[in-house]
Structure 1
């Protein structure tokens, strides 16, 4: 077969419920000169069976021991033969004309990297339409900041309005120049777009008026240790890419000042917490305080009884 124009890489892991829809959304694209590379990152469910059930000759399936998402994406890209690359996480879905539209925009504006707006969906494929929904408010704020400043790099310092690796469409040459995805479990896409912007400051585009990707937000997503780790990585990335835009002679001043601001914010939070009454310091502390009060009351009631004694 002749080399396809577009290579789509799906890093797949334990998404037997969703990977079929992801694969279909690629194979049913309005632009058909493509190959689909699915790299199964050691799934323990039926993800591999679902992918292998497709018989389209444009699909290639690979299985590996679990190596995390960034390594899986890097392997998929290394196997790609197309002049353009797209990534699709195994629980997200392409709009049917996504590749056709992004290819046309790239050619028209000489972009080497492009992303679009997205549609948030739940596990059942239903769109989150409530403007008050937390993710919608977060994404709206990031987009509004970008529209106000008009600069992609500045916009990304405020927040990742690209949202996900599934939203990346780029030339293979640009991807090779930027280099592989970094070993960041939660923010490898965020790091990658900053490096792309630094390498090609005038050739990265945002199709802000076109929603060409369904981005799945799982109902089971809750605050956890990942929320802390993700924010720690976020903090380090912002520091790194703010400094990357500062002339080298000034970086020491900016680094010292920004680090001090972070420390002061942490210290202020601790001082405010220490000055608050116990009930305002959180439910757990309030419950502990209540528990101690109950113990004191019971102890007093026991010792106040006729013939009672403290034990």
Structure 2
């Protein structure tokens, strides 16, 4: 049961070594490691070429962005299973074995685990009040409460990163290539996987099998704005994908209005001190209540 591990690498001379080491040191050793260098201009290539292991296959290309790099690596994969590891993240040394075990037990086509956030220097972010930890635990709590993985993903991407993906080759081929969303191609991909394989996407929620690197300042600037805009697009698309065709117009129109209301309320609060305008949450509750009533009437007719 060979596993193909795909590393898309770009300007990570500081981190690519630990990433490679975490694959070579796996307790499960039947793998190939495909590294696609996306036009790095630092010493990333030099670090990679310093390894002497027949399981490593190195490819260089002009810069084409992460999703194209991953797609190329997956196209070169020859294993029964495909795993992805970004060049700044790190696998736990039992990750492949544990995910293979769970896959054999459950028949899942795609699996991902919980993660450990680390800094540029490798220090774990253990403070529960750290912003990323608050966000991640909120998403995990919603997953446990909802009991439905698709619903939970609409609330937030608790898979966190492309590095967390482990899938059968058959599933990867059916779902197809990663889309061209620069920041959320992993989020789009997992929704497509859930649609293609209902009840066959498994969250190993109680095991932290991946170290996810959070870089200084990576939540600031234009990337944060574009990322959230893409987030809106993905959530709308895959929320509607699970709604029966005859009800999609209700949800689409209501979602548009909720976004408009949020913008309007921000403007009102800036101009009216101590205003008592209804909150976005209140508006959302009213919209959902009306939607449930309409759907109920429709189903009764």
| TM-score between both structures, scaled by the size of structure 1 | 0.87
What is the CA–CA distance in structure 1 between the aligned matches of 2:258 and 2:135, rounded to whole Å?
Answer: 24
What residue number does 1:302 align with? none
Aligned length: 274
1:183 aligned residue (180, 196, 199): 180
What residue number does 1:106 align with? 103
What residue number does 2:22 align with? 25
SS in 2 for 1:63: strand
What is the CA–CA distance in structure 1 between the aligned matches of 2:224 and 2:142, rounded to whole Å?
Answer: 23
- Give the C-alpha shift of residue 221 in structure 1: 2.4
> What does residue range 242-261 of structure 1 map to in structure 2 within 5 Å?
242-261=239-258
- Give the C-alpha shift of residue 222 in structure 1: 4.3
- Give the C-alpha shift of residue 91 in structure 1: 0.2
What is the CA–CA distance in structure 2 between the aligned matches of 1:6 and 1:69, rounded to whole Å?
Answer: 21
User: Do residues 145 (structure 1) and 122 (structure 2) align?
Assistant: no
User: Do residues 266 (structure 1) and 263 (structure 2) align?
Assistant: yes
| TM-score between both structures, scaled by the size of structure 2 | 0.90
User: CA-to-partner distance for each residue in 1:88-115, whole Å, 9 max, x for gaps?
Assistant: 0000000000000000100110001000
Q: Which 5+ residue runs of structure 2 have no aligned equivalent? A: 275-301
What is the CA–CA distance in structure 2 between the aligned matches of 1:24 and 1:40, rounded to whole Å?
Answer: 17
Q: Which 5+ residue runs of structure 1 have no aligned equivalent? A: 278-311
2:192 aligned residue (188, 195, 201): 195
User: CA-to-partner distance for each residue in 1:17-63, whole Å, 9 max, x for gaps?
Assistant: 00000011001110000000000000000001101100100000000
SS in 2 for 1:260: helix
- Give the C-alpha shift of residue 170 in structure 1: 0.1
1:79 aligned residue (55, 76, 80): 76
What residue number does 1:52 align with? 49
What residue number does 1:221 align with? 218
What is the CA–CA distance in structure 2 between the aligned matches of 1:129 and 1:264, rounded to whole Å?
Answer: 37
What residue number does 1:130 align with? 127
Larger Rg: 1
User: Do residues 96 (structure 1) and 103 (structure 2) align?
Assistant: no
- Give the C-alpha shift of residue 201 in structure 1: 1.0
SS in 1 for 2:125: coil
1:130–1:77 CA distance, 2 compared to 1 (3 A): same
User: Do residues 173 (structure 1) and 170 (structure 2) align?
Assistant: yes
